[in-house]
Amino acid sequence: MAEQEQRRPVRDENDREEPVDVAAAQSASRGSDRLKGELDDLLDEIDEVLESNAEEFVKSYIQKGGE
């Protein structure tokens, strides 16, 4: 368990060369076809139950700070 193949070590300042490819990361998270099918059903339900006047609902959701 202690040996992690996937683990990336903390890097030194001078060997940080991996480019940050946000677009690739985002397209990789688009999910499988199966997930996509379930998402369509889910979005149908969301369209049905989402607060009908979204703007008014968001505006009127006001809370006092707590803690």
Partner 1 sequence: MPVPKTLGIETEYGIVHRGVDDPNPISASSLLINAYLSRRSQPGVGPGSPRVGWDFIDETPHNDVRGFSHIGSMAPEVETHLVNAVLTNGARYYVDHAHPELSTPECADAMAVLRHDRAAELIMIESMSAANEVLPDGEELVVYKNNSDGKGNSYGCHENYLMDRATPFADIVQHATTHFVTRQVFTGAGKVGSEAPWIPGDAVAFQLTQRADFFEEEVGLETTLKRPIINTRDEPHADPLLYRRLHVIVGDANLCEVATLLKLGTTAIVLAMVEEGLMDPALQISDPVRAIQAVSLDTSLRQPLLLADGRTATAVDIQWQLLEQAQKFTLQRGTELTGGSVADLVLLRWEEALTSLEADPSELVGVVDWVTKKHLLDGLAERHGLSPDDARLAALDLQYHDLRPERSLFARVGAETLVDTPDAVIAMEQPPDDTRAYFRGRCLQKWPEDIVAANWDSMVFDLGRQVLRRVPMMEPTRGTREHVGTLLDECETVSELLDRLST
- Residues shown for the chain: 67
| Distance in angstroms (rounded) separating the CA atoms of residues 38 and 44 | 10
Measure the CA–CA gap between 46 and 51, rounded to whole angstroms.
9
Residue 17 makes contact with partner 1 by CB under 8 A? no
For residue 41, the minimal CB distance to partner 1 (Å) is 9
Contact residue for partner 1 among 17, 33, 34, 49 (CB under 8 A): 49
Is 31 within 8 Å of 39 (Cβ atoms)? yes
Q: Which residues bind partner 1 (CB under 8 A)?
A: 1-2, 4, 6-13, 16, 18, 20-22, 25-26, 28-31, 35, 39, 42-43, 45-46, 49-51, 54-55, 57-58, 60-67
